[in-house]
Amino acid sequence: MSQYKKTALVLGAGGFIGSHMVKRLKSEGYWVRGVDLHYPEFSSTHAHEFIQGDLRDVDFVKRVLEFKGDTGNFYNSVPYQYILPFHEIYQFAADMGGAGFVFTGENDAEIMHNSCTINLNVLEEQRKLNITFDGVVKDYTVCNRPKLDYQTKIFYSGSACMYPEYNQVDPNDPNCREDSAYPAAPDSEYGWEKLFSERLYLAYNRNHGIPVRIARYHNIFGPEGTWFGGREKAPAAICRKVAYANSGDAIEVWGDGLQTRSFLFIDECIEATRRLMDSEFLGPVNIGSEEMVTINQLVDTAAKVAGKTIEKNHIDGPLGVRGRNSNNDLIRKELNWDYEMTLEDGIRKTYNWIMGEIAKDVAPTLMDEGCSTQVVA
């Protein structure tokens, strides 16, 4: 392992944020194993080893948590004394999507079951591995093997969807400070699952000594994220619809478009997450932008980037809370981090990437049917 800085396990490495984290960790000199049901959709994986499998399967999770050497021996039998825990685990794997998936109520049981099962499996199997490895360390000492000088640290990607609905009624003044989470009242089962899971990670930290770090993400967007099919987030959905539209056309927007959100570009999300993992601060902490805009303004921003005049056709649809914006006071204090990229610059990068994907003819001819502009988180 001398050629590598540390080892990292990225769960959900085929997804948007997970695939970007794999790239970042590898660039920093980590040996990285990526795990997901599917490979990244829009790029090749940068992981040293990518394992396809279902993290709801506890036996699979047990095997995934074991590092068997930097030649990638996941499928090989390795003597147990050579198995090590990972230095860091990044847990992004979850059942999620845009408003059309999260807020209809039709997918609540699936969302809660799948995501809770994954988090329970990861924490419990890591706890068992830690106990087993304590015994193995003693054997190593007898065999003149060095003792471990680290404990596996686990990052959990929570969501701003866990904040109470009653604090997000005024679109011009939502309260999303970390200490505003209770009394709990998320507006969706997705939010309740995120709240439960962050409490689960904190409980395993208190009772079993597992080092954890917890973030509450606020609408992360950027290139290589889902941009069609019904599970895309608002920035990608809007960029897609503007890209397909002619100047002067109208695109559909759910609601009156006056609901507010803030959106954080993916590179800044990754930087903030890495700072959190390298710190002694457990969280939970917001990772987001404080540049709050209405959805109508988000459409106008995409239109400006595209150089088009775009009208808005407001229609009924699932909306989520009326207003949501990150409050970054805590992360500035604890991690000395703040966002730098403007929304317009981030939308420009995302729009240009989507235009490149359209040029490859990787999407259906036109995605208007059933894919109206939506917002979640």
Q: What confidence category does residue 137 fall into, taking pLDDT thresholds of 50, 70 and 90?
A: very low
Q: Which of 190, 201, 204, 217 is catalytic?
A: 190
In angstroms, the CA 8 to CA 28 distance is 11
Mean pLDDT of 223-234: 85
Asked if 88 and 152 count as a contact pair (C-beta separation under 8 A), the reply is: yes
In angstroms, the CA 260 to CA 37 distance is 33
**What's the confidence (pLDDT) of residue 215?**
98
Q: Hey, what are 369's tokens?
A: 């049917």
Q: Which amino acid is at 178?
A: E
In angstroms, the CA 201 to CA 217 distance is 16
**What's the confidence (pLDDT) of residue 366?**
44
Q: Is 187 exposed, middle or buried (0-12, 13-18, 19+ CB in 10 A)?
A: buried
In angstroms, the CA 288 to CA 285 distance is 10
Q: What is the CATH number of domain 94-225+265-291+326-342?
A: 3.40.50.720
Q: What confidence category does residue 179 fall into, taking pLDDT thresholds of 50, 70 and 90?
A: very high
Query: DSSP assignment of 320-363, as one string?
Result: --SB-----HHHHHHH-----S-HHHHHHHHHHHHHHHHHTT-S
Instruction: Examine the residue annotation and report whether 190 is marked as an active-site residue of this protein.
Output: yes
**What's the confidence (pLDDT) of residue 163?**
97
pLDDT tens per residue across span 245-303: 999 999 999 899 999 999 999 999 999 999 999 999 999 999 999 999 999 999 999 99
Hey, where are the domains in the chain? 94-225+265-291+326-342
Q: What confidence category does residue 80 fall into, taking pLDDT thresholds of 50, 70 and 90?
A: confident
Average pLDDT across the chain, whole number = 89
Give this prediction's pTM.
0.91
In angstroms, the CA 308 to CA 300 distance is 9
**What's the confidence (pLDDT) of residue 134?**
61
pLDDT tens per residue across span 138-148: 444 444 445 67
User: What's the gap between Cα 88 and its chain centre?
Assistant: 16
Asked if 174 and 168 count as a contact pair (C-beta separation under 8 A), the reply is: yes
pLDDT tens per residue across span 243-261: 999 999 999 998 999 999 9
The proportion of the chain whose per-residue pLDDT surpasses 70, expressed as a percent, equals 89
